[in-house]
Amino acid sequence: MKYKADAVTMQVIRYALEAVADDMGYNLMRMGRTTIVKEIMDINCGVLAADGGILAQAHLCPLMIFSLPETAANMIRQVEKFNDGDIIISNDPYLGGQHLLDVQLFSPVIIEDKPIAFVANIAHQLDMGGAVPGGVAGGLTEIYQEGLRIPFVKLYQKGEEDPQIFSFISNNIRIPEKTMEDIRAQAATTMIGVERIKALVLKYGQDVFLKCTSMLNQYSEKKVRAFIESVPDGDYTGIDYLDDDGIVDTPVKIQLNVHIRGDEMAVDFDGSSPQTKGNVNCPWSCTKGGVFYTMVGIVDPYMALNSGTFAPIKVSSKKGLVTNPNLPAGVTARSQTMTKIVEAMLRAMSGVVPDRIVAGSHGQACTNNFSGIHPETNKRFSYIEIQGGGGGARPDKDGPDGQDLHLGRFMNTPVEAAEIEYPVMIERYEFIKDSGGAGKYRGGVSTRRDIRFLTDVTWARYSDRQKFKPLGIFGGKDGSTSSLILNPGTSEEQKCKSKGVDQIKAGDLLSICLPGSGGYGPPEERQLQAVQADVIAGKISVQSALEDYKVVLDENLNIDKTATDFLRSKKEALHEA
């Protein structure tokens, strides 16, 4: 053999595996048809070991990767024989998947008649059937309303697509011509991946390939174990809440408990709410994903992600909790819960590594869908609007203003793109003053977008944080709540709930305000110039400078040093007393 299984070959194989995963991702984006695949990039691709563990992933939507190994492990138990050219499909949250819209495909890399690895991808599809077009609806109560649930079936056998399965699926979904083509693109992508992995195995030999991939797992595991070992043993808890589940108007509690012992960590959800009637339940792989995402960010955001990375972190949840629901709980709006799991995990870890965590971020996904008939074309339109809120303040700097969320990277819809396409006029798109929690480092401020409707529309949405604020940390204050207000400042002003479906009349204006984020450290420790700069930049008010930060500014926004010193020293004296 030309190359030995050594530390260098291990790294070279790691790059090669990452290249295969990334190239699969680019192929999928290139061949995909829907905006969700092509622009929002709600997809990911991975190379998996023979046991289903991750070997490498593409640099795409972080939250999507974690269901692949979970689903693959179930698949390997259930599927009797893998043949060259087989492609297995599944979207079942109860078999390791995300929500039903996220369709996963797996293809074995067969060498000498047995699978040496798998390639896999996952993509958010436009529609998988169910009660509501497009599927992104809160307020459903059973998974049966949410769409078609596909068990492990071979969509392709030995390279040939199975027409019966294709027609079975396409009969049960809306706009099948687009979605089935996207699924075909997913399939084509796995076939390319399989060939690339085969070439890699041929180049290095099966033995070197397997040894190096196992070395890679050990390498990542060692890195994470070294980190856990370096922090003190102990038990830590983080708690956050959802306002409601979209059906029952009571808060949903997420309690996350971390137990650190030596070089291992255990995470459980004892104390969390039972599974809910509304569909904010978090499928098991998503719950684990929230924990893993946070740990990668804390340990080393650029490390190789593989099954070794997660081996020292044991995540468990009692069945029947919102974090590990039983059939037939609905799960579509899981992103509201997943984001809270990240928040609770960060909060729990704040007691362990205060300089590696961030304060509470907006921690929800404000997804609005407006549909109606365009008055000029008489055609149905469907306008999805998703916005950025405040990012949590950090140990050494402010939180990012107006940003996407933990777990997912997405883009807004430009004002001009929305108005060209849909009968709306956007009257305002700006930061919200004082929405970021005060702190030594300020929480990120959030955004407000005011949309006037030029025709009647149906408005479906799920969001959160109208009641429970993003949390400040180490003396930092909480961020602002969110709001959805129709016709603000008029006699017809109406506050709307975070989840649900309503009608909006032509001429109405909807103001979408996202939550800000929590601050880090006591506000009175913030540098005076930073407070002044925030006032000049319109991110905080003069009043907040005075009340939250104890900084006195004159009418020209100059710092009144004497008055400020007096106020701040009074505060200190109070502390000491």
Partner 1 sequence: MKTFRIGVDVGGTFTDVVMVNELTGEFHYTKTPTTHDDLTEGVLKGLDEILQIGNVEMKDIDYIIHGTTIGTNAIIEGKGALVGLITTAGFEDVLEIRRVARPQEAAFDFSCDNPAPLVPRHLRKGVIERVNSKGEIHTPLDEASVLSVIQVFKENHVDAIVISLLFSFLNQTHEKRIKEICKKELPGVSVSISSEICPEFREYERTCTTVMNGYLGPVIKEYMDKLIDCLKSKYGEVTLHIIQSSGGTMAAHVAGDYAAHLINSGPAGGAIATAFISTLTKNEMAIGADMGGTTFDISIIDKNMPKTTTWGGVSNYPIKLPMVDLKTIGAGGGSIAWVDVAGALNVGPESAGSNPGPACYGWGGEKPTVSDCNLALGRLNPEFFLGGKLPLYPEKAHSAIKNYIADKMDISVEGAAIGVLRIVNANMAKGISRNSVERGYDLREFSLVAMGGAAALHAVDIARDLGMARVIVPSMSGNFSAVGFVVADIQHDYVKTFMKKDHEVIPEEFLQAFLEMEKDALLQMENEKVSVQNIELTWSADLRYEGQSWELNAPIELSKKVDVDYIKKIAQDFHQLHQTVYSYSEPMETVEFVNLRVRAKGKNRPITFSSEKTQITPENSYLKGKRNVYFEHTGWEMIPVFDRYQLPEKERIVGPAIIEEAISTTLIPPDSSGVMDEFGNIIIEFETEND
Which residues ranging from 280 to 299 are in contact with partner 1 (CB under 8 A)? 293, 296-297
Q: Which of 261, 319, 380, 397 lies at the binding interface for partner 1 (CB under 8 A)?
A: 397
Answer yes or no: are the C-beta atoms of 104 and 97 closer than 8 Å.
yes
Q: Is residue 415 at the binding interface for partner 1, with CB under 8 A as the rule?
A: yes
Q: Which stretch binds partner 1 (CB under 8 A): 74-82, 311-319, 322-330, 531-539?
A: 531-539
Q: Which residues contact 230 (CB under 8 A, 6 or more apart)?
A: none
Answer yes or no: are the C-beta atoms of 89 and 73 closer than 8 Å.
no
Q: Which of 167, 207, 226, 249 lies at the binding interface for partner 1 (CB under 8 A)?
A: 226
Answer yes or no: are the C-beta atoms of 568 and 524 closer than 8 Å.
yes
Q: Minimum distance from CB of 151 to partner 1 (Å)?
A: 29
Q: Please identify, using beta-carbon distances, which residue of 56 and 322 lies nearer to partner 1.
A: 56
Task: State the DSSP string of 149-171.
Answer: ---SEEEEETTEE-HHHHHHHHT
At 551 the three-state DSSP class reads coil
Q: Please identify, using beta-carbon distances, which residue of 269 and 293 lies nearer to partner 1.
A: 293
Return d(Cα 298, Cα 304) in angstroms, integer. Answer: 14
Q: Please identify, using beta-carbon distances, which residue of 506 and 537 lies nearer to partner 1.
A: 537
Q: Which of 131, 248, 327, 417 lies at the binding interface for partner 1 (CB under 8 A)?
A: 417
Q: Is residue 138 at the binding interface for partner 1, with CB under 8 A as the rule?
A: no
Q: Which of 250, 262, 536, 560 lies at the binding interface for partner 1 (CB under 8 A)?
A: 536
Task: State the DSSP string of 249-306.
Answer: -S-EEEEEEEEEETTEEEEE-TTPPBPPSSS----HHHHHHHHHHHHHHHH-TTSPPS
Return d(Cα 388, Cα 360) in angstroms, integer. Answer: 14
Q: Which stretch binds partner 1 (CB under 8 A): 28-36, 88-96, 518-526, 543-551?
A: 28-36
> Which residues ranging from 58 to 77 are in contact with partner 1 (CB under 8 A)?
59-60, 62
Nearest Cα residue to 22 out of 52, 65, 70: 65
Q: Is residue 542 at the binding interface for partner 1, with CB under 8 A as the rule?
A: no
Distance of alpha carbon 195 from the chain centroid? 31
Q: Is residue 106 at the binding interface for partner 1, with CB under 8 A as the rule?
A: no
Q: Is residue 410 at the binding interface for partner 1, with CB under 8 A as the rule?
A: yes
Q: Is residue 220 at the binding interface for partner 1, with CB under 8 A as the rule?
A: yes
Q: Which stretch binds partner 1 (CB under 8 A): 11-19, 68-76, 83-91, 101-109?
A: 11-19
Could you tell me the CA-to-CA distances from 92 to 98, 147, 462 in Å, in that order? 7, 10, 22
Q: Minimum distance from CB of 63 to partner 1 (Å)?
A: 10
Q: Which of 92, 244, 343, 404 lies at the binding interface for partner 1 (CB under 8 A)?
A: 404
Question: x/- site string to partner 1, residues 178 to 217, per CB under 8 A?
Answer: ---x------x----------x--xx--------------
Q: Which of 77, 80, 232, 302 lies at the binding interface for partner 1 (CB under 8 A)?
A: 302
Q: Which stretch binds partner 1 (CB under 8 A): 6-14, 93-101, 474-482, 486-494?
A: 6-14
Q: Minimum distance from CB of 31 to partner 1 (Å)?
A: 5
HSE, side-chain direction, 13 A CA sphere, residue 537: 12
> Which residues ranging from 343 to 362 are in contact with partner 1 (CB under 8 A)?
357-358
Task: State the DSSP string of 80-111.
Answer: ----TT-EEEE--GGGT-SSTTEEEEEEEEEE
Q: Please identify, using beta-carbon distances, which residue of 62 and 325 lies nearer to partner 1.
A: 62
> Which residues ranging from 437 to 476 are in contact with partner 1 (CB under 8 A)?
447, 450
Q: Minimum distance from CB of 474 to partner 1 (Å)?
A: 15
Answer yes or no: are the C-beta atoms of 461 and 512 closer than 8 Å.
no
> Partners of 87 in the beta sheet?
156
Nearest Cα residue to 457 out of 412, 495, 514, 501: 501
Q: Is residue 380 at the binding interface for partner 1, with CB under 8 A as the rule?
A: no
Mark 374-402 as b/e (b = at least 16 C-beta within 10 Å). Answer: eeeeeeebebbbbbbbbbbbbbeebbbbb
Q: Please identify, using beta-carbon distances, which residue of 325 and 515 lies nearer to partner 1.
A: 515
Q: Minimum distance from CB of 498 to partner 1 (Å)?
A: 19
Q: Which of 108, 147, 388, 472 lies at the binding interface for partner 1 (CB under 8 A)?
A: 388
Return d(Cα 64, Cα 49) in angstroms, integer. Answer: 18
At 19 the three-state DSSP class reads helix
Q: Dihedrals φ, ψ of 56, to 5°?
A: -160, 150
Q: Please identify, using beta-carbon distances, which residue of 131 and 199 lies nearer to partner 1.
A: 199
Q: Is residue 23 at the binding interface for partner 1, with CB under 8 A as the rule?
A: yes
> Which residues ranging from 500 to 519 are in contact with partner 1 (CB under 8 A)?
none
Q: Which of 323, 387, 455, 483 lies at the binding interface for partner 1 (CB under 8 A)?
A: 387
Return d(Cα 308, Cα 49) in angstroms, integer. Answer: 11
DSSP 8-state symbol, 51? T
Q: Minimum distance from CB of 104 to partner 1 (Å)?
A: 19
Q: Is residue 94 at the binding interface for partner 1, with CB under 8 A as the rule?
A: no
> Partners of 90 in the beta sheet?
104
Residues binding partner 1: what is the number (CB under 8 A)?
Answer: 76
